[in-house]
Copies of this chain bind each other. A is one copy, B any other.
Amino acid sequence: MGNKRIRKNPVRPMRISDIAELAGVSNATVSRVINGFSSVNEDIAQRVRDIIKEVGYVPSQTARSLSLGASQTIGVVVPDLSNPMYHAVLRGVHRAAAADGYRVLVADTLEETQGEAAVALDIRHRTDALVLIAPRMTRPELLALLMRVHPAAVINRTTGENAVVARVDYEAGIQTLADHLRGLGHTRIAFLSGPEHSRSNHDRQRGLETYRAAHPEVEIVDIPTGSGFDDGHRSWEAVREFGATAVMAFNDLVALGLIGRLTEEGVRVPDDISVAGFDNIPFARYSSPALTTMAVDLGEVGASAWRDLKQEIEGIARREATVFTPELEARASTGAKPLRDEI
């Protein structure tokens, strides 16, 4: 690489001045052509375009971003990329943003609360706006962060005035589900609660408190469980001990785990016990029996966050939270309360 002769496989990428030189015009003219300013003589414009195509020139987005003060890129901060729920949101954000010509920089914080704000700040400084998916940090931290990263959208956390919010109303969702079971005659219901510090789990629990108050005749017990298949699988003893005729799992995975165990134990679903999940994962409708669950289109949540965020980027303020309420998908895993508890 030491010698000066032009190499066959050019090391230094083309830049705008190379094109300008080849076309015998100025950088500014090339820039105008690239950006479609009509003020350029058509002949010249065509010549420039031809040369660009011929040599395969692609402008440096970095330089462009620096000059423009905008990168047409947004950052998305995810607590855990391996969680399909967040993944669905990411996809929704991505598609919506891509349709508007924005690229997406992702950062997985690996559930580590401490580095979260730092990652967000770093990412924000390479992008034009931020989407925070279910941030884990404390509320004061979040508010302080939002102050500094505006414009930003926050998913599944409430904020002050400083960010766009899109969220799922788990509180209402779980009540809808409880009501579904009550309608089937169940009055002893187990809720297999999720991770201790999960906000969406808290929301469900709060919803159930409200529900208990409104319907004192139905007894709902909280059984700390977890969020995975195995957790559901393991929960059977506790469920049996309580004598539940119906179970609401923290999510579909837990529900399916429990159903798997029930099958092993020879307990029939829903004849002996009803089991419902939450989230409506793709597999839910194919399990046997098909799983009753609460559905919310997370892709749409992400897309909505992007739309509102775009408004912010463009300076059009729009600050009411967009709330998505999960809908009941009643399937075969829930049914009428058995006449006698003969489990």
The interface of chain A, by Cβ under 8 A from chain B, is 9, 56, 58-63, 65-66, 71, 73, 81-82, 84, 87, 90-91, 94-95, 98, 103-108, 110, 121-123, 125-126, 147-148, 229, 233, 256-257, 260, 263-264, 282-283, 286-288
Contact = CB atoms under 8 A, between A and B. Distances in A.
Contacts of A122: 58, 61, 103
Given A58-B125, A98-B110, A257-B286, 11 more contacts: A9-B147, A58-B121, A62-B62, A62-B71, A71-B126, A81-B94, A87-B87, A94-B106, A95-B110, A98-B107, A283-B283
Nearest to A264: B288
B108 A105 contact: no
A63 B260 CA distance: 55
Contact of A95 (B62, B94, B108): B108
Nearest to A60: B125
A91 B82 contact: yes
B106 A106 contact: yes
A78 to B, nearest CB: 9
A190 B91 CA distance: 35
Contacts of A263: 288
A303 to B, nearest CB: 13
Given A84-B84, A91-B81, A91-B82, A286 B229 contact: yes
Contacts of A121: 58
Contacts of A73: 105, 126
Contacts of A82: 91
Contacts of A233: 286
A53 B286 CA distance: 53
A126 B90 contact: no
Contacts of A91: 81-82, 108
Contacts of A287: 260
B260 A148 contact: no
Contacts of A108: 91, 94-95, 98
Given A91-B82, A105-B105, A125 B283 contact: no
Given A121-B58, A125-B60, A103 B105 contact: yes
A126 B107 contact: no
B286 A61 contact: no
B65 A62 contact: yes
B61 A125 contact: yes
A64 to B, nearest CB: 9
Nearest to A95: B108
B103 A126 contact: yes
